[in-house]
Amino acid sequence: MSTDVLVIGSGPAGMQAAISARDAGAKVTILERDWQLGGILNQCIHHGFGVHFFRENLAGTQFAEKLRESLEGIEIRLNTMVLEVKDDSVVVASDRGVEEIECKALVLAMGCRERSRDSLGIPGSRPAGVYTAGQAQRLINIEGYLPGKDIVILGSGDVGLIMARRLALEGCSVKCVVEIKPFPGGLMRNVVQCLEDFNIPLLLNHTVTRIIGKDRVEGVEISEVDTSLRPSGKREVVPCDTLLLSVGLIPENDVVGELVDIDPVTGGPRINQFFQTSNERIFACGNALHVNDLVDNVAREASIAGESAASYSLGKLEKSGKRRRVLGGNGIVSVVPQWVDGSSQVRFYMRAVEPMKSVNLRVKGTDIKFFKRFIRPAESLVVNLAGKRIDEMGDEIVFEVEKEEESEAEERALKTYVCTLCPVGCEISLLDGGEIRGYQCKRGLEFVEQEEKEPMRILTTTVYVKGGELRMLPVRSAGDIMKEDMQEAMREAANVLAEAPIKEGQDIFVFKGVPFIATRSIARKGP
């Protein structure tokens, strides 16, 4: 068989790339190794997705549902494993056997994989009870099983932070989150709503140096590290039955071999503004390109990658102009795209080396600068450059960080809040005299005012399903509930049995006047 655009992967990047390619007039096929579409979003029951892309605060499962509903006219091949990527075709294995699919353009959207214990070299035996955070997330959110009861989490990436909250809500004792660096690896809003809300300690400048136990984990040895990230001698044994690893993600690109140039910093292909790799017929987006902090950015990238792939397959992709390299300078560790052709407007994604306050993100050798109140390595810095400004530049575009003086208002802050209502995670200061500063929208102001009166939260969890294709149904509160009521709501959810078929958005149960709704659809299991 043959197609115009072939997309590998059906997570948010794959589905949105396919939608954009179809809308641009191409014949599109999606290849997915799993039995269902959605990728990692199928186990992401927490909210905070889609605020920018859909203008709604959605659970990850709802984000996937919206994309699934938009795939009309796209051929979908489930349970299909890619064995080899050739110059103009892909070899796959499925229930049809091994076959070769020809394509004019290929989009890489395979996502990323977690770093395992083997990559860390932690001494100890190999007892049961050691999981990656993503494995534990699947166990609890899809399979309905707890990985353990007394938990230590190594690494403060977003999945680890989110699992700390999820396990605490399920009644587990999360002893601590251990982070080798002097700053968190995840978004600040997740540090606040996943750790601080549940009084879970975050041990910075620490790591796990030994796993204790033969048949099952019995404890871990935690050591303080020095500025070289080496254990410094101060050690403590923490009893636990489970260790979760949230120690980084690696873009999944093994299948493409040497067909594209890989950036050693991001781990993904080097691309231009069209998300076109060094192999002109191959495009890349999402976490297969570079690990993103927000699914909204993944979908935005995929929109461009899919449209560009369609244009290439139809012979309409604009010819390249002058090529300029894109580099990270002082304070910037990586930038995507790595080069630009021509002089169209380009959105750049970059990561900072370390957390800083009150900085200018500058384009070296120009008057272009963007003020940032905070920058953090866990959060993408996203800026747009107009085509006219790019056309004025030389052979290189270099982004760098320049420190600014902190304002007097920062020094007068009595209390600081991190707003959890959207991914921006504004740090908002309550100043002496009652003045509130630092919010970027009205909702940030309302958040601080509400926190001062009575903290409110969206609660996401799962309930059991009767007669469905899945064992567990993800649900969320349709509105805020009081933070102090979250455990009571969890106890009520534990007694709910939802009967399939279930439609996303359907009311499942009501807690203190607040409906809990399904965040994905589940079909009835066949005979």
**Tens-place pLDDT, residues 504-517:** 999 999 999 999 99
End-to-end distance of the chain based on CA atoms, in angstroms?
33
- Comparison of pLDDT for 342 and 268, the residue scoring more: 268
Q: If residue 493 lies in a helix (H) or strand (E), which one and from where to where?
A: helix 486-493
Q: How many Cβ atoms sit within 10 Å of the Cβ of residue 383?
A: 17
Q: Work out the mean pLDDT of the chain and round it to a whole number.
A: 92
Q: Looking at residue 476, what is its pLDDT?
A: 98
pLDDT in tens, 154-178: 999 999 999 999 999 999 999 999 9
Q: Which residues contact 101 (CB under 8 A, 6 or more apart)?
A: 1, 2, 3, 6, 29, 31, 89, 90, 91, 92
Q: Which whole number is the average pLDDT over 361-374?
A: 92
pLDDT at residue 119, as a whole number: 80
Q: Is 292 helix (H, G, I), strand (E, B) or coil?
A: coil
pLDDT of residue 319: 73
- The pLDDT value given to residue 380: 93
The answer on pLDDT for 416 being more than 90 is no
- Average pLDDT value for residue range 280-289: 97
Task: Determine the pLDDT at residue 410.
Answer: 53
Greater pLDDT, 98 or 423 = 98
Q: Is 477 exposed, middle or buried (0-12, 13-18, 19+ CB in 10 A)?
A: buried
* More reliable by pLDDT, 303 or 449: 303
Q: Which helix (H) or strand (E) holds 219?
A: strand 219-225
pLDDT of 433 > 80? The answer is no
More confident residue, 311 or 233: 311
> 87: how many CB neighbours lie within 10 A of its CB?
9
The CA distance from 500 to 473, in Å, is: 10
d(CA 135, CA 146): 11
CB-based contacts of 262: which residues, under 8 Å, 6+ apart? Answer: 253, 268, 269, 270
| Average pLDDT of the residues in 489-499 | 97
Instruction: Assess whether pLDDT exceeds 70 at residue 413.
Output: no
Q: For the chain, what is the radius of gyration of the CA atoms?
A: 24
- What was the pLDDT predicted at 240? 98
Question: What does the pLDDT look like over 38-84, one tens digit per residue?
Answer: 999 999 999 999 988 999 999 999 999 999 999 999 999 999 999 99
Is residue 350 within 8 Å of residue 381, measured between CB atoms? yes
What pLDDT is stored for residue 411 in this prediction? 52
136 touches 152 (CB < 8 A): no
Which residues make beta-bridge pairs with 474?
A: 462
pLDDT in tens, 115-139: 988 888 888 888 999 999 999 999 9
Q: Where are the beta strands (DSSP E) in 342-438?
A: 346-352, 356-363, 369-375, 381-385, 396-403, 413-418, 427-431, 436-437
Distance, C-alpha 72 to centroid of its chain: 26
pLDDT at residue 446 greater than cutoff 80: no
**Structure confidence at residue 109 as a pLDDT band (50, 70, 90):** very high
| pLDDT for 508 | 98
| pLDDT confidence of residue 286 | 97
pLDDT at 101: 97
The predicted pLDDT at position 13 comes to 98
pLDDT of residue 335: 97
Residue 87 banded pLDDT, cuts 50, 70, 90: confident
Q: Which domains does the chain have, with CATH numbers?
A: 2-113+250-318 (3.50.50.60), 116-247 (3.50.50.60), 324-403 (no CATH), 408-453 (no CATH), 460-518 (3.10.530.10)
Q: Is the pLDDT of residue 144 over 90?
A: yes
pLDDT reported for residue 104: 97
Banded pLDDT at 230 (limits 50, 70, 90) = very high
How far CA 474 is from CA of 43, 174, 237, 521, in Å, comes to 9, 22, 36, 9
The pLDDT confidence band at residue 406, using thresholds 50, 70 and 90, is low
Stretch (H or E) spanning 203: strand 202-204
